[in-house]
Structures are given as structure tokens and as C-alpha cells.
Amino acid sequence: MSIISLQDVWLRYRVEFKEEGKFVPEYFWAAKGINIEINKGEVFGIIGENGAGKTTILKLISGMLKPDNGRVIVNGTISALMDIGLSFQGDLTGRENIYLISSIHGFAKKYIKEKCGDIERFAAIGKFINAPVKSYSHGMYMRLAFAIAIHMNSDILLIDDILAVGDIYAQSKCVDKIFELKEQGKTIVFISHDIELSKRLCARGIFIREGVILKDGDINGVYNYYVETAGDKNGITILEKGCLAIIFNNGKIILRWRGMTITDNLSWHVILFSSRRKFLSTSARWDVQERGSRDEMSASGSWPDMPVRLEVDISVLNEKEFLCEISMPEFDGIDIDESHCNLLFANEYAHYFTLRQKAPFPEVFSRDEQWEAYKISESDGRLVGVAGKAGQNGELPVIIMERLRDDAQLCCRIGNAGPKNGARVIQYIHVNSNASGDKIATRKIFFAKIKIFESAETSELEGYLQTTNRLLSESAIMRLGFMNIFCRPDRVEIYWKNKLISYGSGLHTQFRYEGLIYKSSDAQWSVDKKNDREITVTLYWPDKPPFRQSWNLKAQGEGIIKWEVMMGTVGEAEIKGKEAELFVISEYDRWETVDESGDFSKIEKMGDTVILGKYVNSGVRIADRNEINNGLLPSLSFEHVNKTPKALYISKLSNEGEAVRLKYVGIDG
């Protein structure tokens, strides 16, 4: 049977604010639907930030406050240590206050006389017991108040963070006495900002914020939840669905499953690199926006010394799936060299897997400050999962990250955060290719669907992976002899004899509208296969500009594709700077036109560009230097039809030679 029961308790305070010389009353709820059951002999902790409502709950239990709604039931006598010295009479001596307070609590004079010596010895304030309490230090107040409370032999002891007062010896003495009362089976309700003491003393507790209980259960889990959600309230929100909890806390994303934290350290966070400086998302100032649903959140973060903004959008689809998008919209005049999206998981996750392989994480290596990570292929990076053994609090779920958008400048790395951090890392790195410093409409740093499987759901997991693999391989396809064109919901892939020869999005367009750059990689794609030899792709942008773009991919013969790009506008929308690009793998290392030729290996630096010519009319051919010997790759010829571009560029995307790019610039029509 519960010794303390709070049943749907609501309490409202009236506060008067002075405005223009007048006091204006306002009301706010200090307790909102509080439900607590505390058993006899239990030590119960109440955790929360200042002003959360912790002391209000103690006052409700003690009877100092009456609820506006709900019931408070207490089956036993109470001693309360709150507002130290509040009930002391300043002009009376310490001994006189012992008799006064004990009498108020209903104790007979004989009993008080018997206990007075014990109280005085525990308080240890010497001859000041005969001095007026108004002359006491705060520590003396605490010792006397504590001594009176613990000698009243009450069934319930309420303690409101008083152990922070006094010297170390006095604090230690009080703590020892609390543990003694605990062993005696007393019921104790305890508030303290000392985390370790609370964990030692309490078995169960609650975490309260703004009068609402956010967590009730094992004290370790409650404190972990409190720490994970502590910080600037403007940058914190929690999405919960069934067993899943997603905590956004001022630039980091924390995942909890069945009350267990499955992310680690900085959890999920972003680092931007600019001019040899790095900016962590956790050091930005964040503002969480309401989305009108408890299943969705949006947050915007910025730094005072860098005019760049990060945006985070999370949508919970169900208790085992959610969407996460991290983007960097509209920046101007700032060169962001790289952006890293780091997903840190608990070190109990021993393996990672893709659609094609499963492997252990690398061994944790010896240098604390270094991370060990290696890159996986572009195709493998589209879907990455982590699986592990049982953690301290139960079985770890399987977590899968399925990227919903690809980018030629994005790569995925797998690794460890080292022994100092002790975390597993999935790292998405985006390398900037916008060397011009123009405005960028939106850059998606990370956009994925995260799916969770219980460790026992092996058949469901295998079925999901097989289905996903089939869907990825059965997008709109044109088969042209040895060449196959796959149109997926976010990219066009070109295969030759089952080898992927395009890179990233494959085909790509961009243009300017009202000072912003719009890229096909940022659009939503609608793919429609007209027939076996024609596919149409319609592109829409999230901010709903007055235009859309259509691609028509049509087979002109075996191994020949016509790519037609058309703009559909509403009104007189002025589109400028139209460009069309093709990304191919780095094995293509030679290029030539009628008048020029060159070697990609001569392009040494990332972003270096070769202008193949102005008003190029004959197109360009690329090939690998070994094509005559082994025929592994076909030579590719590209020609423009009807419209003449202002220039044709060719460039390499990274120092590692991952891919090369052909860009037609300034195409009219």
C-alpha cells in the first residue's frame, strides 16, 4: 500500500507583476496532472531544474499547499526540511525553538525533554543553543533544523536540498544519518542537485520540468534522462512514440529505446569546417520551432561569429521509424570547406552492415584524441546499419540509416571515436564544391530514414533488407544493350555490363532564381517510366518556387541517350545561369574534343577546372586509358543538340579522384 499518493494533482499560483505602477495578477500552473505513488520504506528522489516544481510537490505532500484539482493522500506523520529556519522564531534561543517546533508538531513536553539532549548533541552548535537563532549562521540553522526533524520519529521525512548548506563535516554527518533512517525503513522524499548522492540514496524517482513529470522510474535512468535534456530550454524538445524517444538538445540528437540511451557522448551532431576553424552544432544557439504535432520538430541554430544557419527537421513516422534532415540553407560569402554529420552510438554496438556486407567495427585504437574511420563505397553508404550485443540495461536494437538523397560530394565513413570517447561512429562528410562563394539555396548535410528493429526480429530485418535491395534495383530502368539507365527517386545511375560508371546523382542541373542557386539534388523527384525507352523526371523544390523542371531521357539507339531539360514557369519567373552536369567515376582519366585533349590526372587539386572551350560545337569524349586493351569501360561521347552552351567545363571532385564532372554552362532554352 502506498504511504504517499498524488492523484492527478494540479496547482495554480497567483503572481502579481508590477506594470506601469500597477500590480497585474497572472496565474501559472506549478503542478500539471501529477501522479506519484510512493511505498512505505522507499527513498524517492525528485529531480529537476530550478523552478521546475520540485519544492511545490514537497509542500503538497506536507500539507503546506492544497491542490486546485486532484487528491493528495498521506498515510503517516511527516517531518519536513524545507526553507531552513522558516519556522524558527528569531528572538528565541535554539533550545526554546526546539520546544516550540516540537510542540507545534504535537509532541508532549516529556518526550521533547527526553530528546532535547540528543538534538543538541547532533546539532553541535555549542553554547549557541542558548543564543537567539537570529544570530546563527546559515550552517547553524541547517544543523539545528535537521537535528529537530530527524528526532521527531516521523513516518515520512521530506528533504529539500538542504545538504548543500554547511561545512563538509556537517554534510557528511547528515548524510550518514539519512542512510541510517533508510536502514530503519523510514520513507524519505529527497531533493538534491548532488547526482551521485541521489543515486546512492534513492532507488526510484521522477524528473519534473515546468510542473510536468517527464520521467518516472529507476533513479539511474531518470538522471540520465535529466542530463540529456538539461540546457537552454529554447533549444530542447522531446519526441516520443511507444518505446522510442528522440531528444533534441541544443545541437545534438539523442536516441533512447525502452528507456535505454543507445547513442553516446555527443550523440548525433554536426561540425562545419571553414578557413581552418571548426564550428560544432552543440556550440550554436538553437531555437526549436513548433510544428503543430508531437511527432515533428524543427530547430534552427546559428553562431554569433559565422553567418551560417543549420536547420534540423525530425518527423516520427511510427515507434520504429523516423525521418531526420539536417540542412544548411542560404549562406553567402562564407566558404564552408567540409561538413561532418557524426552519428555516435554506444560502444556495445559491435558490427555495422550494408546491403552487401556485414563487418565488425575497427578495434578501438590507442590515441585518445584521434578517430579511426575508413570510407565505404557510395553504393554501400546508401544504407548503413549497426547491431550489437546486450547493453547494461538490456538488448540493443538494430538501427538502420537509409539515406533518402545522394550527393556527389558526400561520402560515408565507419569507425570509432577512440577509447576516450568509447563510441561507434557513422560519419557523413560533405565536401564543398561551390568555390565561387555564391549563395546556395539549400545544402542537405544529412537526410535519411532511420528504422529500428528489435534484436529478436531477425526475420523482419532480413525481409526489410531484401525488399529495400529489390526496390533500389528495380527503379525505372532503360536497358540499352550493355548499358542500363536506372532512374531512382533522387539520382540517375548509368551502368555498363553491371558496373556503375556514373557517380553520385549522375545527372545534375542547377540554375539561379532571385539570387539563389537551385540544384536538382535538393529537389523532390517524381519518376515516370513512359515505356521501355523513355523516362520522365519532374523536379519540385521544397520552398515551392514558381517553377518546376522536367527531364526527358529517351533512347535514341543502342547506347545512345537523349537528355532533354525543360523549365516550366508560372508568370514571368526569370531563370538565369542554367547548367547541366554529368558525374562519372574516376576510372575515366582522359578527355578529348575535336580541337583539344587532356588527362584528368593532371588536375591535381580539388575543384580545379579545365575550360574545354567557349562555344564548343562538337561535344566531348571521355575514356579510360586501358579501354583498347581490356574493354572494361566504354568511351563516352557527349554532344549538345540545337542549343549552344556558353562554355563546357571539366573538373575533378576531390583530391582522392573519386569522380570527375562535365558541366555545360549557360544553356539557353
Query: How much is the average pLDDT of 364-378?
Result: 62
Query: How much is the average pLDDT of 97-117?
Result: 84
Q: Does 246 score more than 90 pLDDT?
A: yes
pLDDT at 629: 34
Cell of 314: 525530425
Confidence of residue 159 (pLDDT cuts 50, 70, 90): confident
Nearest residue to 419 (alpha-carbon basis) of 371, 348, 387, 350: 371
In this predicted structure, which of 21-30, 65-74, 361-370, 572-581 has the lowest mean pLDDT?
A: 361-370
Domain 2-221 CATH (choose: 3.40.50.300, 3.30.450.20, 3.30.1490.480, 3.40.50.10190): 3.40.50.300
Residue-wise pLDDT for 421-470, tens only, equals 678 889 888 876 554 444 555 577 888 889 999 877 888 998 888 877 87
Q: pTM, whole model, 2 decimals?
A: 0.60
Query: How much is the average pLDDT of 188-211?
Result: 88
Residue-wise pLDDT for 59-77, tens only, equals 999 898 999 999 999 999 8
Domain 234-468 CATH (choose: 3.60.90.10, 2.60.120.560, 3.40.980.10, 2.70.98.10): 2.70.98.10
Distance CA 35, CA 72 (A): 10
pLDDT at 11: 94
As a whole number, the mean pLDDT across the chain is 81
Helix or strand run (H / E) with residue 459: helix 458-473
Helix or strand run (H / E) with residue 45: strand 43-47
pLDDT at 630: 44
Helix or strand run (H / E) with residue 102: helix 94-104
- Taking CA atoms, 400 is separated from 355, 372, 449, in Å, by 11, 21, 8
pLDDT at 322: 92
Pinpoint the residues of the chain covered by CATH 3.40.50.300. Answer: 2-221
pLDDT at 70: 94
Ordered strands of the 483-487 beta sheet: 476-480, 483-487, 492-496, 499-500
Task: Report the DSSP beta bridge partners of residue 345.
Answer: 263, 424
Q: Does 259 score more than 70 pLDDT?
A: yes
pLDDT at 260: 86
Q: Does 408 score more than 80 pLDDT?
A: no
pLDDT at 468: 79
Q: Kindly report the CA angle at 284 between 283 and 288, in degrees rounded to 5?
A: 125
Residue-wise pLDDT for 543-569, tens only, equals 888 888 999 999 887 678 888 888 887
Highest mean pLDDT among 327-341, 380-394, 531-545, 585-599: 531-545
Cα dihedral sign, 503-505-507-510: negative
402, 490 Cβ separation under 8 angstroms? no
Pinpoint the residues of the chain covered by CATH 2.70.98.10. Answer: 234-468, 476-665
Residue-wise pLDDT for 468-523, tens only, equals 787 666 567 776 766 778 888 788 888 876 678 888 888 999 998 888 999 998 89
Residue, of 276 and 58, whose pLDDT is higher: 58
pLDDT at 442: 57
pLDDT at 172: 81
Q: Does 647 score more than 70 pLDDT?
A: no
In this predicted structure, which of 226-235, 331-340, 365-374 has the lowest mean pLDDT?
A: 365-374
Highest mean pLDDT among 20-24, 31-35, 290-294, 644-648: 31-35
Distance CA 86, CA 666 (A): 79
Fold of 476-665: Beta-galactosidase; Chain A, domain 5 (2.70.98)
Nearest residue to 426 (alpha-carbon basis) of 521, 324, 317: 324
Query: What percent of the chain shows pLDDT beyond 90?
Result: 22
pLDDT at 4: 94
Nearest residue to 134 (alpha-carbon basis) of 178, 78, 85: 85
Q: Does 598 score more than 70 pLDDT?
A: yes
pLDDT at 628: 39
pLDDT at 204: 93
pLDDT at 631: 46
Distance CA 471, CA 462 (A): 14
Confidence of residue 646 (pLDDT cuts 50, 70, 90): low
The residue type at 340: H
The residue type at 142: M
Q: Kindly report the CA angle at 579 between 512 and 643, in degrees rounded to 5?
A: 120
Beta-strand relationship, 69-74 and 2-19: antiparallel
Q: Does 350 score more than 50 pLDDT?
A: yes
Confidence of residue 21 (pLDDT cuts 50, 70, 90): confident
Q: Does 117 score more than 70 pLDDT?
A: yes
pLDDT at 122: 87
pLDDT at 435: 44
Neighbour-count burial of 613, counting CB atoms closer than 10 A to its CB (0-12 exposed, 13-18 middle, 19+ buried): middle
Q: Kindly report the CA angle at 81 between 78 and 83, in degrees rounded to 5?
A: 130
Nearest residue to 668 (alpha-carbon basis) of 648, 647, 640, 643: 643
Q: Does 614 score more than 50 pLDDT?
A: no
Neighbour-count burial of 66, counting CB atoms closer than 10 A to its CB (0-12 exposed, 13-18 middle, 19+ buried): exposed
pLDDT at 288: 92
Q: Does 669 score more than 50 pLDDT?
A: no
pLDDT at 612: 52
Query: What percent of the chain shows pLDDT beyond 70?
Result: 81
Nearest residue to 408 (alpha-carbon basis) of 386, 433, 374: 433
Query: How much is the average pLDDT of 605-621?
Result: 54
In this predicted structure, which of 379-388, 389-398, 535-544 has the lowest mean pLDDT?
A: 389-398
Q: Does 608 score more than 60 pLDDT?
A: no
Query: How much is the average pLDDT of 31-60?
Result: 92
Distance CA 510, CA 581 (A): 8
Q: Does 35 score more than 50 pLDDT?
A: yes
Q: Does 84 score more than 70 pLDDT?
A: no
pLDDT at 154: 85
624, 599 Cβ separation under 8 angstroms? no
Distance CA 147, CA 157 (A): 12
Confidence of residue 627 (pLDDT cuts 50, 70, 90): very low
pLDDT at 441: 52
Q: Does 416 score more than 80 pLDDT?
A: yes
Task: Report the DSSP beta bridge partners of residue 598.
Answer: 591
Q: Does 301 score more than 90 pLDDT?
A: yes
Confidence of residue 314 (pLDDT cuts 50, 70, 90): very high
DSSP 213-255: EEEEEEHHHHHHHHHHT-S-GGGEEEEEETTEEEEEETTEEEE
Q: Does 331 score more than 90 pLDDT?
A: no
Q: Does 80 score more than 70 pLDDT?
A: yes
pLDDT at 366: 47
pLDDT at 645: 58
pLDDT at 244: 93
Residue 362: count of CB within 10 angstroms of its CB: 15
Beta-strand relationship, 398-403 and 476-480: unpaired
